[in-house]
Structure 1
Amino acid sequence: MAPLDLIEDFLNTVDERTFSRHGESHVAGEHLTSPQALSDWLAAHDLPGAGVELQPADLTATVALRTALRQVLLGETDATAALTDHQLRLIPDQSGGLRIAARSGKPWLDAIVETVAQSAARGEWQRIKLCAAPDCHWAFHDTSRSGRGRWCSMEICGNRHKTRTYRERHRRAG
């Protein structure tokens, strides 16, 4: 799994989408509902901490990091504030170079924070976005050439936005 795909999947462990499509309402939901659900998600993503008996505090810390990262992407807070509890430092790696490391005491959170930091250092973090539709906010990896993607899906959210804009323009004109 590519590093940005991990971050996208992590951000999407909460589904805030509330829109209707073809007459069916999308039901929002939380995937990390228990320490066991977190452990299952970690195992599915080959992250450290899978198979370990996790506690409610582990779940709380994980959801707090996810919420903070989503707030960064929404522009509600800055990355420094979001990562206050996740100190980063440089440590020697096996090749004799340096790598970014986090030490929160929760190895899965460290892996996620390190992935975010490394993607920011490579200039890739700006490609992780939350859909601009206020009733969506699904995280997506913007692979557009210009890096200006706004919608998780042009077929759904982009089309709904363009249709609303078109109708509003014609309502005002008529």
Structure 2
Amino acid sequence: MSERSPAPGGLALVEALVNTLDLESGADALDTPDGRARLGVTEDAVPAARVLRESLRATLLAHAGHPPHRAVTPLGDLLADAPLRVAVDPADGSAALTAAEEGPLVSRVAAVIAAALVEGTWTRLKACEAATCHWAYYDRSPAGRGRWCSMEVCGARAKMRRYRAKDR
């Protein structure tokens, strides 16, 4: 689990969804009413949210240069039918892609990804390299080459494993 600050803007939704599952303990926040409420997900929508979560996790692993954690439905397939609309602010004429319907999680995620693509922040959202973690985090490193959700936990464990392997 990361001690980093949340991802900026709408990417916090994607980060929060991916981080509903703690791989190390197996605890899934989507199993709880509070966890579902934080994401605006009904109990009936949990199976679809889990499929979306794991497709997002695979994509975030790819952002960090890591192979997928398992076979998943491609994220593009899940987002293909998500209805989006262009919202134009009458005051300043600025435009943004938004979810056409506020309810469906997939539509909200598609709108967030579209906005992040425009802002250039989408590929900075990554998943931790540690196989027992894969926690989502926003990479704020200057070079954009972060590998772990937390250098103090996952990064330190990886470095210790490499050090011990060298001594063998």
Decide: shared fold, TM above 0.5. Answer: yes
Aligned with 2:26 (options 3, 28, 31)? 28
Q: Which structure exhibits the higher relative contact order, with contacts defined as CA atoms closer than 8 Å and separated by 6 or more residues?
A: 2
Aligned with 2:53 (options 61, 66, 91)? 66
State the shift of 1:107 in Å: 4.5
**Code of the aligned partner of 1:151:** W
Residue 46 of structure 1: aligned partner: none
Aligned with 1:116 (options 100, 113, 127)? 113
Q: Secondary structure at the match of 2:77?
A: helix
**Hey, which of these two has a bigger chunk of strand by percent?**
1
Rounded Cα–Cα distance in structure 1 between residues aligned with 2:19 and 2:128: 11
State the shift of 1:78 in Å: 5.5
State the shift of 1:71 in Å: 1.9
Residue 169 of structure 1: aligned partner: 166
Name structure 2 gaps, 5 residues minimum: 1-5, 63-67
Which deviates further from its counterpart, 118-127 or 104-113?
Answer: 104-113
- Percent identity between matched residues is 36
Once the two structures are superposed, the pairs formed by residues 30-49 of structure 1 within 5 Å of their partners are 30-33=28-31, 36-42=33-39, 49=40
Aligned with 2:129 (options 129, 132, 137)? 132
Greater Rg, structure 1 or structure 2? 1
Q: Does residue 1:92 correspond to 2:88, yes or no?
A: yes
Q: Secondary structure at the match of 2:97?
A: strand
Contact kept, 8 Å, 2:19 with 2:136, in 1: the verdict is yes
**TM-score computed with the length of structure 2 as normaliser:** 0.74
CA displacement 1:91-123 (0-9 Å, x = unmatched):
434443332133467344433321222112211
Name structure 1 gaps, 5 residues minimum: 19-26, 43-48
Contact kept, 8 Å, 1:131 with 1:139, in 2: the verdict is yes
State the shift of 1:39 in Å: 4.4
RMSD: 2.6
